Amino acid sequence: MRYLLILIIAIPAAEIGLLLFSGKTIGVWPTLLLIILTGVIGAYLAKREGLQTIRRAQEQLRSGQIPGEAVLDGICILLGGILLLIPGFVTDIGGFFMLFPPTRRVIKFFMLNLLRKKIQKGNIKIIK
């Protein structure tokens, strides 16, 4: 909970600072165009990656496998798409990291480790 509070304060502060710096450095209109462009590119990438992930999950289900990897991909893609739709450069960087498969692999690794730790501590229980 403490980290969430820090993120709620730190990310908007960083976004405002970067937007002000960008507006001063390259101008207001180019900054606005950059924000809109990243939103459009992000929506396109999220749609493309999301459809690929859905297809992969369906193939895994048809072959009798549990689509665990595809579910984690889907979570990353959803979060990445949301981050790219939020105006600002910090959230855009995080969103692109979650959408591109090479960097998404690293994020999924940390997500799996976090889940394992929570399961081992008993915070998450798996019922059969």
* More confident call, 6 vs 72: 72
4/8 Cα distance (integer angstroms): 6
Specify the pLDDT at position 67. Answer: 87
Q: Are 83 and 91 in contact (CB under 8 A)?
A: yes
Specify the pLDDT at position 63. Answer: 92
DSSP string, 15-80: HHHHHHHHHHHH-HHHHHHHHHHHHHHHHHHHHHHHHHHHHHHHHHHHTT---HHHHHHHHHHHHH
Q: Is the pLDDT of residue 1 over 80?
A: no
Q: Is the pLDDT of residue 2 over 90?
A: no
For the record, the structure tokens of 30 come out as 């180019």
Q: Is the pLDDT of residue 12 over 70?
A: yes
For the record, the structure tokens of 85 come out as 């739709």
38/31 Cα distance (integer angstroms): 11
For residue 44, give every residue at least 6 positions away whose Cβ sits within 8 Å of its Cβ, in sequence order, or none. none
Q: Is the pLDDT of residue 18 over 90?
A: yes
Taking only the tens place, the pLDDT of each residue in 36-46 is: 998 899 889 99
CB < 8 Å & 24+ apart, contacts of 114-123: none
Specify the pLDDT at position 4. Answer: 85
Mean pLDDT of 63-91: 89
Specify the pLDDT at position 95. Answer: 92
* Confidence category of residue 128, pLDDT binned at 50, 70, 90: low
For the record, the structure tokens of 4 come out as 């969430």
